[in-house]
Structure 1
């Protein structure tokens, strides 16, 4: 018995998208400012990635950092970005709306899904800030989202694996539960076994020195000025390879091919 696993890579820029595609990613979550949890990427970046890569591109629609309680004006901005993504030919978008009481904003989520069609909508880790994950699950399913990105309401998915497994069971195939945050090549197969999830999300980020030869002495000691965040296509390939080692049944020894 074999599973078809999906590996989504969150990228911050064009080089990251190129590395994700070269490494065999199945889908790209396209962001700006991943250090802020991901913000809406630029028009130019979205268009360039759509032109150059054949795998689905899912831009995040998030106009600012901070919480996921949006004003009507912010919602209008998000709708404008959504329409742009639709016109450019994106296969999906990533978004999340909460109410002040920690529940999912069903009205905004439903409106977004209707406007997005036929694009898919992923409800992102705003889910991890909701007060009742199982009530939120039902609201998100009713609203029309295709998947939920979650770390199991912990800082990292490995720590939230038990809740993720419970959500996979509760979802019962009605929506995909996609573990994300702290997902790396070395733990992805264990997460697949522990949770029963078949879609996984990772940024695969590492840091490399900047190629700048000149470093202004006033800024040479600033930690982030002369390093760049990178994705290594080898890491993406390793994660895909490790998904191929997951066993469908602990009682047999048949490898799953991802």
Structure 2
């Protein structure tokens, strides 16, 4: 069994660290710590795709919940097309209804946008349904419905604050045999990887981030001074080693 390792990164340097550390792919986003992740800039996507690792781009235009208006869905669909045209191998999407069920029409619209640009690009585009999955009332029903929409994988903690505590739901999602890969993510640390792999998931996702002091001043209008987030090479290497030790890769 091979369990893929996906690392969430925010810049070119993080992508290089993930590639050199042995990760299989990255999720590229912006403002991860402050917002949970937003769509990165066009230049960030383009430059990161040149690093030489598969890049899956988070498509999320604002923080907050996952209930989107038609206008917001228009922007999300346009961002999907732009990300793939800039070199992304996958996109990470999600849309819900106010009653904590999948927004099937909205999600179909986003998947269709990916499949349309897939034809233009002449290569396969992976679609991951992000941790909006952890807000749905019935995750097994949700993953089955997502399979019907052509989603490739879901990113989920099993509904828990940390994926290591969501093992029962992760195992149930794998057992549903929906045709959708299950990628465990959310609060994953190196010590929890073995128990997560034991659920049968297809991939593990972690941010592997650390913080460093901000060397510059912010000033009026510059926001609040805070430490800067960086991808930690030691954590990436340890995650790969933990996957190997758990039998997740040869």
- What TM-score, normalized to structure 1? 0.87
What is the aligned counterpart of 1:184 among 171, 181, 189?
189
C-alpha displacement of 1:257:
3.4
Separation in 2 of the partners of 1:241 and 1:132? 34
Separation in 1 of the partners of 2:66 and 2:60? 9
C-alpha displacement of 1:104:
0.5
Question: Equivalent residues in 2 for 1:158-169 (5 A)?
Answer: 158-169=164-175
Separation in 2 of the partners of 1:230 and 1:185? 17
Relative distance call for 1:54 and 1:14 in structure 2 (3 A) is closer
Separation in 1 of the partners of 2:10 and 2:157? 20
Separation in 2 of the partners of 1:232 and 1:34? 15
C-alpha displacement of 1:105:
1.0
CA RMSD, aligned part only? 1.9
User: Paired residue for 2:151?
Assistant: 145
Separation in 2 of the partners of 1:159 and 1:197? 14
Deviates more, 1:199-208 or 1:120-129: 199-208
SS in 2 for 1:182: coil
- The answer to whether the 8 Å contact 2:58/2:92 transfers is yes
Separation in 1 of the partners of 2:68 and 2:114? 18
Structure 2 portions without partners, runs of 5+ = 119-124
User: Paired residue for 1:99?
Assistant: 97
What is the aligned counterpart of 1:126 among 126, 132, 145?
132
User: Paired residue for 2:121?
Assistant: none
* Greater radius of gyration (CA): 1
C-alpha displacement of 1:209:
2.4
- What TM-score, normalized to structure 2? 0.90
Question: Equivalent residues in 2 for 1:1-258 (5 A)?
Answer: 3-35=1-33, 36-51=35-50, 53-117=51-115, 118=118, 119-170=125-176, 172=177, 174-193=179-198, 195-212=199-216, 225=225, 227-247=227-247, 257-258=249-250
Deviates more, 1:237-246 or 1:10-19: 10-19
C-alpha displacement of 1:173:
6.0
- The answer to whether the 8 Å contact 2:45/2:87 transfers is no
Between the two proteins, the alignment pairs up a number of residues equal to 239
C-alpha displacement of 1:159:
1.2
Q: Provide, for residues 123-160 of structure 1, a one-character-per-residue CA deviation record: whole Å limited to 9, x for no partner.
A: 00001001111111111111110000001111110111
Structure 1 portions without partners, runs of 5+ = 248-255
C-alpha displacement of 1:5:
1.7
